A and B are shown apart, each in its own frame.
Chain A
Amino acid sequence: MMTTSRGGESAPLRLGVLGIVVVSLFAALLARLWYLQVMDSQTFQVEAKTNQVRVVYEQAPRGRILDRNGKVLVDNRGSQTITVDRNQVKDKPEVVGRLAALLNIPLAELRKRMADVRFSPYTPVPVADEVPEETIVYLREHQDEFPGVAAPTRPERAYPNGSLAAHLLGYVGQTTKEELDARRSQGYREGDEIGKQGVERAYEQDLRGIPGSKRLQVNSAGKVLGPPLQESSPQQGRDLFLTIDLDVQTVAENALAQGLDATRHVYDKASKKDFAAPAGSVVVLDPRDGSIVAMASNPTFDPGQFVNGIKPDVFRALTDPAAHFPLNNRATQGLYSAGSTFKLVTSIAAVEAGLIDARTTVLDGGSFRLNKCKGEKCIFRNAGGVAHGRVNLTRALTVSSDVFYYQLGAQFWNLRSQHGDAMQDVARRLGLGQKTQIPLSPEAAGRVPDPTTRRRLHDQNPAAFPNGDWRTGDNINLAIGQGEMAVTPLQLATAYATFANGGSVWEPRVVDKVVDQQRRIHRQVEPVKLRTVSIPPVVRDPILAGLTGVIASGEGTAHSAFAGFPLNRMTVAGKTGTAQVAKKQDTALFVAFAPADNPQYVVAVVMEESGFGGSVAAPVARRILEKLAGGTDTGAAVVGGTE
C-alpha cells in the first residue's frame, strides 16, 4: 500500500538517481573549494594584497651644484603648479571646465594634460607650471568650486646664472625608455627626471636623492581609504662642490664670446672674406691636480629651457647644423689639429732623442727643401714666408719657426729605425689622442697620426684618405701639428699641464666634494694621477724659456696680445697655434700656463675659423689670465698679432 501510494514501483530508484546527482554536485563544489582555498590559496592571497595597496612615489629634489667657493650654480626653486586629482573630478566635468577657463587654455588641451599616462591614478596630475600668483590666490579663495584641484609647489631646476657653464653642468630631463630599462632596479619610474649631460649626468647617483613613497589602501573604485599605511618623505640629493670657479668661468665665457664676435669682423686675406668664427672653447685647469677651473664652449644654450620638458621647436633649433650644435661641449668633444701648439711635443721628443740640444741652431731662411726631391711639394714654408734667421730651440718656439721643426720632422723620419715614432710617443704620453678620463661624457678620443693609423684610415675609407702610405712630408707636417691630427682642447690643456707641473698626468677633475644635506662631506673626490712622464731639466729648461718668450720677448708670437699684461705679478708661458683645415678658415689656438715658474693655471683657447692664434686666441686667454692674476676683467677687445 505504502509503495503504491507513493506512486509507481520505480520511485525509490528514481529518488536514488536524484540523490546520486545531488551528491556529485556537492562533491564538485567541495573539490573546487579545496582547490581554491587550500591548493592554490597562495596565489590568491598575493593577488588580494596587490589589489588593495597602491604605492605612490614623490620625486626628491635634486642636490644643488655649487662652485669651488660654494656659490650656487644650479639650485632648485619651488614652481607653483596646479594639479588635478583625477579620482575626484571624474564625475564633475564642470570643475574641469572651470579650471580650463581659469588657466585660459582650451578644454581639450586640459583634458589631454589630465590624461598623462606617466602619472599613477592615485597621484594628482600637474596640468600647469609656473602659474601666476593671482591665479593661485583665486583658486585658494574659491576652493569649494574646484574640488580635487590643488596648487602645490614642486621643486624644479633653477639656474641663477642662466646659461653659465651649461655644457659642464648639463641638464635634466625625463627618462627615456632606454634609460628607464637600464635603471629600473635602482628605483627609477616613468616620468622621473634624470641628468642628461655634464655633471648632472655624471653624478646622477649623488644628485638624485631618495624618492618619498606612500603606501595607500584603495578600494575597488580606486578611492583612497584613510591615511597612508606607510609613508616616507623624499630626501633631497647630495650637493656637489665643483672645482669650477664661478668668476673665472664667467670671464672665460665672456672673453670667448666677445673674442669670437670681434673676429667675425676681421678680414681673412686667405679666403678673402671675414672670419666665420662660429665656435670655440676654453679650458682652464689647475696643473697641480687636474682640477677644471673653467670650461667654456661656444655657442652655448640655456639649461633652463629643459626644465619641465624642452619645447620641440627650441630643441630643433638647438640641434640645427646651421646653429653649429650648441649642445656639444667643444672642450671635450671638439677635435682639432694642434697646429704650432704641437711644437711642445716635437721639442721634447727631439731633445730626448738627442737630435738637438739647447745650443743646436738652424738657419731659418723662410723655407725648407726636402733632399732628393723635386717640385713645389718638396718645399715647406714658414707661415707668411717669413725668414727668422738663425734659431735655436728656445727662439724657434718664441718666434714659431716652422723651418726648425720641418727639419726635425724630416730627421725623425730618416732615423725612424733608431727612434721609432718618437713624436707620436711623446704626444701620447702627454695625453694627446686619447680620452682624458674626465667624468663628463661623451668625450672624444681623437687621434695622433702615425703610419699605422694612416694605413687603417685608408683601408676603412679610401675615398676620404686616398693616400695609405706615410711619407717624409707627413712627418714634417706632424712636427708642426698639421695633418690628420685630432685633439680636443682639454687634451691640449692636459698636455701643457703635464709639461708645466714637471711630468704628472692628472685625470681632469670636475667635482671636488660631495656634501650631504646635513652639510657633512659624503665623499671627497681625490685627484687621480694617471702616470708620470719624465721631463728632465735639460729638456724642460730651453722649452720653458721659449714658451715664456712667446709672451715676454718682443718677437714672441703672443707678445702684442699681452701688451700691458702685469707680467711682474704673474709670468706667463704659452704657445700660439694656427691650424690649417681643409676647405675651412684656419683654427686659432693658444695654450698658456702661469705663473711660468710655479704653474697654477693652464689656459687653452681654441677658436674655429678664426685665423691666427696669436691675434685671436691669445687675447682671449690674456683676459682670463688677467683675472687669474688678481685683476678685474676689463673686457679688453681683440688685439692684433702675428704668427
Chain B
Amino acid sequence: MVATSTRRDATAAWRHVDVVLLGAVLIAACLGLVMIYSATHQKLEQELSDPGFYLKRQAVWMVLGLGVMAFFALVDYRVFRDFAPVIFVGTVVVLLMVLSPFGSSSRGTQAWFQLGPFQFQPSEWAKLAVIICLAAYCSQYRGELDWNRTISILGLSAIPMGLIYLQPDLGTALVFVAILMGVLLVAGARPRHLALLTVIGILGVVTVFQLGVLKQYQLDRLGAFLDPQVDNQRAAYHTLNQSKIAIGAGGFTGKGLFKGTQTNLSYVPEQNTDFIFTVVGEELGFVGSALLLALFAVIVWRTWRTASLAKDLYGTLVCVGVLAMFVFQIFENAGMTMGIMPITGIPLPFLSYGGSSTLAAFAAVGLVLNVHMRRFS
C-alpha cells in the first residue's frame, strides 16, 4: 500500500472502495424506486395526476443522494472529527430553530423546514451529526470509558435527542438511543454501566407510560402493538392489522409486482414511506422480502466489517454508529409492519420515500465507504 499518501490524497483511496457495499446500496435504492411507484401510481391515476410523481421525485433524491454519498466518501472522515464541536453546536441550533416558528409542522409534529416545494427534515441529519460527534468524543478516551466519561457522553447526546423528542418524534429519538448504545458498547463502556443503562432505559419507558408524558397518539400507536383489543386504539390497530394482512397475503412468492390489492386499494396508510415494507411483502412475497432483508444484511455486514478494519477507533465508532442506526431502523420498521414492534414513524433506509431520509442514508453509507477506503492511510 502507498503508505506515503497524504490524508487528502483521494486517488489512492479510491482503489479501496467497498464495491460490495456500494452495489448493495444501489440495488436497494433501485428496488425502493420500484416499490414507491407500486405504492403510489394507482392512487395518483385515480386522482388524474402523474402516476410517476413520487417515482420521479425519489429518483431525483437518489441521484442527489449519490452526490452526497460521494462527498461524504471523498472528504477524509477525520476532517469531520476536527469540526465535531462546530457540527454539534450547529445541529443543536438547527434543531432549536425547527421548534421555533421557522419550522413547520405536519400532523402534530414540528420537524420540517419548508423550502419552496421541498421539505428539509433536520432530525435525519442530526443522526449523522451525532454519530460523528459521539465517535469523535469517545475515541479520545481510547477505549477507557469510566463512569464520569459515560455520564458526559449521555449528557451530550441528551440535548439533540431531547429536542427531537419535543417535536415530538419519538421514533427518531429512539434511533439516537440505539446509536448511543452501540457506540458506548464498542467504545469501551464498562459492562456493568451498560447493564445499568439498560435497566434505567427500561425503567424510563415504564415511567414515561405511567406519568403520561407521551401524547395520546403515541400511546395509541405503541398500545396497538401491546394490546390490539383496546377500543380507543382502533385506528392504530387497524393500520397494524391491514399491514399484517398485506404482508401475509403476499405468501411465499407474492402477488406479483403492481398486483397487490392491499397496496393498490390503499388499505395500508403511508405505504410509500413508513409502510413500504408491506408493498415488498405483498407483491414480492417471502422470497422478495427475504432477499431485501439479505440485501440489508449485506449492507450491515459490510459496515460491521469496515468497523473492524478501520484504521482508528474513531473510524470504527463512526461505522458502529451507522450500523446501529441502520439496524435499529430496519428492525423497528420491518418489525412494526409485521406486528412485532410498536408503530413509530421511522423510514426504512433506501426504500422509504423521502428526501432528507434518503440523502442522510446515502451520506451515512458515504462515511462507511470513507472509513473503508482509508483503512490503510
Binding site for B on A (CB under 8 A): 4-12, 14-15, 17-19, 22, 25-26, 28-30, 32-34, 36-38, 40-41, 43-45, 47-49, 51-52, 217-221, 225
**Interchain CA distance A51-B281 in the complex, whole Å:** 17
* Set A5, A25, A43, A45: member contacting B312, Cβ < 8 A: A5
* Set B143, B252, B310, B338: member contacting A8, Cβ < 8 A: B143
- CB neighbours (8 Å) of B297 from chain A are 26
- CB neighbours (8 Å) of B373 from chain A are none
8 Å CB contacts to A: which residues of B282-302?
A: 285-286, 289-290, 293, 296-297, 300
* Interchain nearest-CB distance for B343 vs A (Å): 15
- CB neighbours (8 Å) of A7 from chain B are 139, 142-143, 187-188, 312-313, 316
**Interchain CA distance A19-B297 in the complex, whole Å:** 11
Q: Are B247 and A51 in contact (CB under 8 A)?
A: no
Considering only CB atoms, which chain A residue lies closest to B334 in the complex? A29
Given contacts A8-B313, A18-B304, A219-B265, contact A41 B245 (CB under 8 A): no
- CB neighbours (8 Å) of A37 from chain B are 247-248, 250-252, 281, 285-286, 289
User: A15-B304, A33-B290, A48-B249 are known contacts; what are 6 more A-B pairs with Cβ within 8 Å?
Assistant: A8-B313, A32-B339, A37-B281, A44-B246, A48-B246, A52-B261
* Set A15, A29, A38, A225: member contacting B265, Cβ < 8 A: A225
Q: Are B251 and A29 in contact (CB under 8 A)?
A: no
Binding site for A on B (CB under 8 A): 46, 139, 142-144, 182, 185-188, 242, 244-252, 261-262, 265-268, 281, 285-286, 289-290, 293, 296-297, 300, 304, 307-308, 310-313, 316, 320, 323-324, 327, 330-331, 334-335, 338-340
5 sampled A-B residue pairs with Cβ under 8 A: A6-B313, A15-B307, A22-B304, A41-B250, A45-B251
Q: Are B293 and A26 in contact (CB under 8 A)?
A: yes
- CB neighbours (8 Å) of A10 from chain B are 143, 188
Q: Are A33 and B300 in contact (CB under 8 A)?
A: no
**Interchain CA distance A44-B255 in the complex, whole Å:** 13
* Set A29, A40, A225: member contacting B331, Cβ < 8 A: A29
List the count of A-B residue pairs having beta carbons below 8 Å apart.
150
Could you say which of B187, B286, B320 has the most chain A C-beta atoms within 10 Å of its C-beta? B286
* Interchain nearest-CB distance for A222 vs B (Å): 11
Q: Are B143 and A220 in contact (CB under 8 A)?
A: no
Considering only CB atoms, which chain B residue lies closest to A32 in the complex? B338
Q: Are B185 and A45 in contact (CB under 8 A)?
A: no
* Set A25, A34, A38: member contacting B327, Cβ < 8 A: A25
- CB neighbours (8 Å) of A14 from chain B are 185-186, 188
* Set A15, A28, A48: member contacting B245, Cβ < 8 A: A48
**Interchain CA distance A52-B144 in the complex, whole Å:** 59
- CB neighbours (8 Å) of A219 from chain B are 265-267
* Interchain nearest-CB distance for B314 vs A (Å): 8
Q: Are A220 and B335 in contact (CB under 8 A)?
A: no
Considering only CB atoms, which chain B residue lies closest to A33 in the complex? B289
Considering only CB atoms, which chain B residue lies closest to A226 in the complex? B46
* Interchain nearest-CB distance for B215 vs A (Å): 25
Q: Are B338 and A17 in contact (CB under 8 A)?
A: no
- CB neighbours (8 Å) of A49 from chain B are 261
Q: Are B286 and A51 in contact (CB under 8 A)?
A: no
* Set A9, A18, A33, A41: member contacting B323, Cβ < 8 A: A18
**Interchain CA distance A36-B248 in the complex, whole Å:** 5
- CB neighbours (8 Å) of B310 from chain A are 6
Considering only CB atoms, which chain B residue lies closest to A41 in the complex? B251
Considering only CB atoms, which chain A residue lies closest to B238 in the complex? A220
Could you say which of B249, B307, B324, B330 has the most chain A C-beta atoms within 10 Å of its C-beta? B249
Shortest 6 CB-CB contacts between residues of A and residues of B = A8-B143, A44-B248, A7-B313, A48-B249, A37-B286, A219-B265
Considering only CB atoms, which chain A residue lies closest to B309 in the complex? A6
Given contacts A10-B143, A12-B308, contact A48 B261 (CB under 8 A): yes
Considering only CB atoms, which chain A residue lies closest to B335 in the complex? A29
- CB neighbours (8 Å) of B262 from chain A are 48, 51-52
Q: Are A30 and B293 in contact (CB under 8 A)?
A: yes
Q: Are B286 and A18 in contact (CB under 8 A)?
A: no
* Interchain nearest-CB distance for A7 vs B (Å): 3
- CB neighbours (8 Å) of A34 from chain B are 286
Q: Are A19 and B186 in contact (CB under 8 A)?
A: no
Given contacts A41-B249, A44-B248, contact A6 B320 (CB under 8 A): no
Q: Are A15 and B313 in contact (CB under 8 A)?
A: no
- CB neighbours (8 Å) of A44 from chain B are 244-249
- CB neighbours (8 Å) of B281 from chain A are 33, 36-37
Q: Are A33 and B304 in contact (CB under 8 A)?
A: no
Q: Are B247 and A36 in contact (CB under 8 A)?
A: yes
**Interchain CA distance A40-B250 in the complex, whole Å:** 11
- CB neighbours (8 Å) of B327 from chain A are 22, 25
* Interchain nearest-CB distance for B178 vs A (Å): 10
Given contacts A7-B143, A15-B307, A33-B290, contact A41 B185 (CB under 8 A): no
**Interchain CA distance A12-B309 in the complex, whole Å:** 10
Considering only CB atoms, which chain B residue lies closest to A44 in the complex? B248
**Interchain CA distance A219-B268 in the complex, whole Å:** 10
**Interchain CA distance A456-B156 in the complex, whole Å:** 98
* Set B186, B245, B252, B265: member contacting A47, Cβ < 8 A: B245
**Interchain CA distance A219-B267 in the complex, whole Å:** 7
Q: Are A220 and B265 in contact (CB under 8 A)?
A: yes
**Interchain CA distance A325-B62 in the complex, whole Å:** 82
**Interchain CA distance A348-B280 in the complex, whole Å:** 91
**Interchain CA distance A15-B308 in the complex, whole Å:** 7
Q: Are A6 and B248 in contact (CB under 8 A)?
A: no
Q: Are A5 and B313 in contact (CB under 8 A)?
A: yes
Given contacts A7-B139, A7-B143, contact A30 B186 (CB under 8 A): no
- CB neighbours (8 Å) of B308 from chain A are 11-12, 15
